[in-house]
Amino acid sequence: MGWFLIIAAVIGLIIYMFNKDYKEDLKTGVLNHGGMQEKYKILVMYIMSILPTAKITKLTSSNITISTPASAFYIDYVGGSTEVSVNIMLPTGKISKRFKFPNGYPQEKMIQDIENYMEWEAQKFESAINQNGYQYIK
């Protein structure tokens, strides 16, 4: 019984330390910059410009979700880095990609990386249509 209490106390202390570190990291990495919407203003404006019907559907201290009925972009501040997830439903299938950027990585470069990936996906789709176009015609 005594060992159980000691193990539970150690586990509780570890959880407390991780939670404390997470809150400090969130405070210095996001909250001191005006929150997620302000810190990632350039990225949010870019996403909203390419998806005119998009709306911010979720905003927390560490996450922004921007979505339309057929797509969603998630911007998450995780462990001192920024993760951007792209999920787009197309008639031909789903595009899904997660990008991970170190803290302080310029948003303009994030946008360029996302655009490069989307162009690659478009070229891949175009190539498939050129090779097997009849599959996509219904």
Checking if the pLDDT of 3 tops 70, the result is yes
pLDDT of 56: 93
Question: 52-82: per-residue pLDDT in tens?
Answer: 899 999 988 889 999 999 999 999 988 888 9
**Entry pTM:** 0.74
Residue 47 in tokens: 């996403």
Q: Which residues of 6-43 are buried (b: 16+ CB within 10 A; e: fewer)?
A: eeeeeeeeeeeeeeeeeeebbeebbbeeeebeebbeeb
In angstroms, rounded to a whole number, what is the distance separating the alpha carbons of residues 5 and 61? 34
Q: What share of the chain is helix, strand, coil (3-state, %, to 5)?
A: 55, 30, 15
* pLDDT > 70: percent of the chain: 83
Ranking 21-30, 33-42, 100-109 by mean pLDDT, the lowest is 21-30
Domain boundaries, the chain: 2-129
What is the pLDDT at residue 29? 65
pLDDT band (50, 70, 90) for residue 90? confident
∠ CA 88-91-92 to the nearest 5 degrees? 90
